[in-house]
Structure formats: C-alpha cells, structure tokens
C-alpha cells in the first residue's frame, strides 16, 4: 500500500471520519491491496495510535467511540475479502472477552482474522463468565478456546476460566489461547494456557501452531 493511502486511512480512523475511512479503504481494495495489509498496516495502527493518545490524556472517550465506528466501517468493507467460500474450514474456535471486560475491538479483529483463515468462530461476545466458556466448549466441541482480556482487573478471571474448563472435563479436549494488551507469555504460562498472542495476526499463527501439535 502506498504511504499516502496508508496515512489517509490511519488519520481518518484517528479523526473518526467514517466517510473518509470507507473511501480510502475502498480505494485500497480497488488498487488490489490485500485486505490483511489494509487492516494490519493502516486501520489497526490508527486505532492503536488513538489508544496511545487516550492514554496520554490527549483525547477522551467520545472521540474513541467515534473512531471505533469509523474503524468498523473500514472493517465491514474488508470482511468479505477475508471470508471466501474457497477458504477451507480449518477448525472451530470458541472466542470471547472475559467476564467484567467490555472491550471487543481487538477480540473482533481476532475473530475476523481467524474466519479469514478458514476457522469457524463461535463468538460469545463480551463479559463472558468462565462457566460460559466451558458450556460453549461442551456444546460446540471446538479445537481451541480463545479468551481476550484488556483490563488488568480481569486478568485473574482468566485463571478461573482455566479452572472451570478443568472441572467441567473439557480442558484436555481443547487448546487454550489468551491475548489482550496487558497479557504476556509469562502470564499465559502461569495460568496454564497453551498459547499467547499479542496481536490478531499472531493469534492465527498461534492457533495453527496449537492445532498442529494436538
């Protein structure tokens, strides 16, 4: 993708300009830029840059919410390019954001990337109690349970998810991957998760790695 188009998308996300995001993303697709490149190099960095500005106190929640809508316009345009009938079904992933946590932008990107790579994703949404992950694992017989957490306060609930998967008898049947900004590989290891990914691209690689080793 050209630098000018990349910058236009990135800035439009940060400005919360839905129309400009849609036009620029469509232009990128029309120019033959792969959807993954538009996502990975322009939309996500735009949202991450805004996240940094939020952290620095330069922008506030209303701006964030407006930018989320703008980003979603772009993601909606990309989505059909990730999920073609020609893509083989690779396996099933149960995915959700852990109880107490309402952040879903990153989780939705992980979902989109997995679907784009041929996985069926059972999306449990946000604020998902540990028992619901276990119930969904029993109901859908997934290969992987994937849990997102964006808050340090909800990290401990990830350990509860691991416990409930064990006590409900499904732990040995599924691989478990965790991710989200405050998490680390060390934390994932400490709760006994099988995998960790710090972005939506490596989440797919990590799921594939686990599938290959099971």
Distance CA(151)–CA(203), nearest Å, equals 18
Whether residue 46 contacts residue 8, with contact meaning beta carbons closer than 8 Å, is answered with no
Cross-strand partners of 95: 123, 146
Q: Does 102 bind ligand B1M (CB under 6 A)?
A: yes
Nearer to ligand B1M, 21 or 105 (CB): 105
Distance CA(103)–CA(151), nearest Å, equals 9
Q: Does 44 bind ligand B1M (CB under 6 A)?
A: yes
148 phi and psi angles, rounded to 5 deg? -105, 140
From residue 54 to residue 83, what is the string marking binding to ligand B1M with x (rule CB under 6 A)? xx-----x--x---x---------------
Q: Does 178 bind ligand B1M (CB under 6 A)?
A: yes
Distance CA(72)–CA(77), nearest Å, equals 9
Q: Does 124 bind ligand B1M (CB under 6 A)?
A: no
Nearer to ligand B1M, 31 or 69 (CB): 69
Nearest approach in angstroms of CB 122 to ligand B1M is 13
Nearer to ligand B1M, 34 or 51 (CB): 51
Nearer to ligand B1M, 32 or 62 (CB): 62
Nearer to ligand B1M, 9 or 197 (CB): 197
Nearest approach in angstroms of CB 214 to ligand B1M is 16
Distance CA(9)–CA(27), nearest Å, equals 10
Nearest approach in angstroms of CB 94 to ligand B1M is 10
Q: At what angle do helices 44-55 and 61-82 cross, to 10 degrees?
A: 160
Nearer to ligand B1M, 73 or 107 (CB): 107
Cα angle: 178, vertex 76, 208; to 5 degrees? 35
- Which residues inside 6-35 make contact with ligand B1M, applying CB under 6 A? none
Strand order in the sheet with 175-179: 119-123, 91-97, 144-148, 175-179, 195-197
Distance CA(177)–CA(196), nearest Å, equals 5
Q: Which residues bind ligand B1M (CB under 6 A)?
A: 44, 47-48, 51-52, 54-55, 61, 64, 68, 100-107, 109-110, 146-148, 150-153, 177-182, 197, 199-200, 203
């Amino acid at each position: 993708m050209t630098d000018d188009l990349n910058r236009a998308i990135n800035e439009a996300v940060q400005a919360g300009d839905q129309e400009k995001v849609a036009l620029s993303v469509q232009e990128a697709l029309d120019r033959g830029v792969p959807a993954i490149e538009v996502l990975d190099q322009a939309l996500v960095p735009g949202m991450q840059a805004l996240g940094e500005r939020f952290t620095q106190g330069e922008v506030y929640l209303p701006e964030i919410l407006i930018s989320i809508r703008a980003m979603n316009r772009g993601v909606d345009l990309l989505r059909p390019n990730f999920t073609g009938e020609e893509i083989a079904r690779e396996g099933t992933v149960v995915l959700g954001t852990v109880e107490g946590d309402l952040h879903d932008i990153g989780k939705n990107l992980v979902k989109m990337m997995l679907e784009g790579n041929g996985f069926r994703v059972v999306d449990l949404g946000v604020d998902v109690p540990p028992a619901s992950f276990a119930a969904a694992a029993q109901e859908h017989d997934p290969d992987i349970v994937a849990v997102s957490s964006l808050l340090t306060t909800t990290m401990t609930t990830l350990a509860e998810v691991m416990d409930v998967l064990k006590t409900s008898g499904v732990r040995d049947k599924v691989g478990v991957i965790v991710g989200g900004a405050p998490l680390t590989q060390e934390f994932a290891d400490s709760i006994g998760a099988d995998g960790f990914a710090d972005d939506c691209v490596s989440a797919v690689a990590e799921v594939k790695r686990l599938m290959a080793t099971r």
